[in-house]
Chain A
């Protein structure tokens, strides 16, 4: 039994267009015109416990939309998804106790209260025993260097400081799965390497499954033996990073990914392995 299993996962959005002018607005009252945008288009995706999977794709490819479906924030238009034994959008209350989520673009800590207060609340929200809480916080502090930040309200933190706190917050309840949507966005090299080191250790020690989207291929190189590439809603490649290197016969991941985004297919070696052509 896979920890995460999605089949034919699809999400369509309705994009409403507004007509111009007064008459147009009047018409819209009765008949709103829209087109359908298929942001995620029938992807199959399975992940085992303890894996770290990088999920990449160009802007607008559908990464965040996928993450939102896996976390239960969005209901799929079609397809099935099961994570940790639950259907995310149906069994929210029990499902969310087993996952941690970080959206790099926006903090989930309470904006106006001290970080430590947020943490204490999270302890209550997820019913974390006091001793576990103390130990984990200590451990996170050792790697991420949180101690100077804990008494500040989130709105006073820099982006990198905030991200470190968000990461710690997402892991205080020791979730089986950690979803990260661009966790290193806007961070300096030092902050990035700290976060990578942290994720590695967490994955190592707790066997936490990590799904992470990023535009920084350094994250993938440092953390993820496996990478999934999505393009305009469709899964383009799902396999090992090593395999990518050998298939493309290049030594820089960035060059490979650039070519993939431009729509090229591997030339050397045996195509097939991991490629979804069709």
Chain B
């Protein structure tokens, strides 16, 4: 138990160090995010001309929402789906069977190492730089900050689990890129990254509320903005725990299926 923990800590450290060595790769990423955030800033600035309130958010809140959503995404985002999909397509998961560890935990640990790197060298500097250029609203109280940080960790786990499952789905299709793209579109739309969930029509909101995606972006952002606080914020964390359990179970079933296929049919 302790030994496994040390292994996963080692993986986190290793991935972090590994990312340091390839950090030039991230400069393009930073550019990409700057363009995204800039574009959405001008878009919403125009939409909000006249100081209206849309979907429960005023102009300032909306701009903060966009900035926070993208900065946080730069933390939790990973290529886990592609990595798992490639392992499956190239038959690498057969080789994972000769190792006394959990394949999924190894992948999650490495993703987390990368996420810590992204937070330190990407999300935090980007957030600071944006704040210097165009100050945005800060959380009202420390309780919001604490709840937000925990919710962002939950967002990382849920996003990683969804990516893991998407990677496993590659097993059932001839078009892996189709799976990755579909996952990306679903995540961008239903997580609330592109549009707060409160902007959707009632029927769409009802459906989205039954899905795990909003726990990745929309709900943590609302905690940041103070729109969700107190007991409601605790409920968000509870919801995240619920989805982490369900998705973990689902990912486990997919893994079992993939392994069964490999050991019977040879990949």
Contact of A73 with B99 at beta-carbon distance under 8 Å, contacts A113-B14, A124-B10, A127-B3 already known: no
Contact of A72 with B100 at beta-carbon distance under 8 Å, contacts A112-B18, A113-B14, A124-B10 already known: no
Q: Which of A72, A74, A108, A124 contacts B7 (CB 8 A)?
A: A124
Q: A108–B14 contact, CB under 8 A?
A: no
Q: B18–A117 contact, CB under 8 A?
A: yes
Q: Which residues of B contact A106 (CB under 8 A)?
A: 95
Residue-wise interface mask of A (168-194) relative to B, using a CB-CB cutoff of 8 A (1 in contact, 0 not) = 000000000000000000000000000
A7 lies within 8 A of chain B by Cβ: no
Contact of A97 with B98 at beta-carbon distance under 8 Å, contacts A14-B265, A127-B3 already known: no
Q: B7–A125 contact, CB under 8 A?
A: yes
Residue-wise interface mask of A (96-113) relative to B, using a CB-CB cutoff of 8 A (1 in contact, 0 not) = 110101010010100011
Q: B266–A121 contact, CB under 8 A?
A: no
Q: A13–B3 contact, CB under 8 A?
A: no
Q: Which residues of A contact B99 (CB under 8 A)?
A: 96, 125
A126 lies within 8 A of chain B by Cβ: yes
A interface size (C-beta, 8 A):
29
B interface size (C-beta, 8 A):
20
A17 lies within 8 A of chain B by Cβ: no
Within 8 A of B (CB), among A108-143: 108, 112-113, 117, 120-121, 124-127
A200 to B17, CA, bound (A): 36
Residue-wise interface mask of B (202-230) relative to A, using a CB-CB cutoff of 8 A (1 in contact, 0 not) = 00000000000000000000000000000
Instruction: Look across to chain A and name the residue whose beta carbon is closest to the beta carbon of B95.
Output: A108
Q: Which residues of A contact B263 (CB under 8 A)?
A: 73-75, 89
Q: Which of A73, A94, A113 contacts B262 (CB 8 A)?
A: A73
Q: A73–B98 contact, CB under 8 A?
A: yes
Q: Which residues of B contact A112 (CB under 8 A)?
A: 18
Contact of A101 with B100 at beta-carbon distance under 8 Å, contacts A13-B265, A73-B262, A89-B263 already known: no
Sorted from nearest, which 4 A-B pairs have the closest CB atoms? A124-B7, A75-B263, A124-B10, A96-B100
B residues sitting closer than 8 Å to A (CB atoms) are 3, 6-7, 10-11, 14, 17-18, 94-95, 97-101, 262-266
Beyond A124-B10, A126-B100, 11 additional contacts (C-beta under 8 Å) are: A13-B265, A73-B94, A89-B263, A92-B100, A96-B100, A108-B95, A108-B98, A117-B18, A124-B7, A125-B7, A127-B3
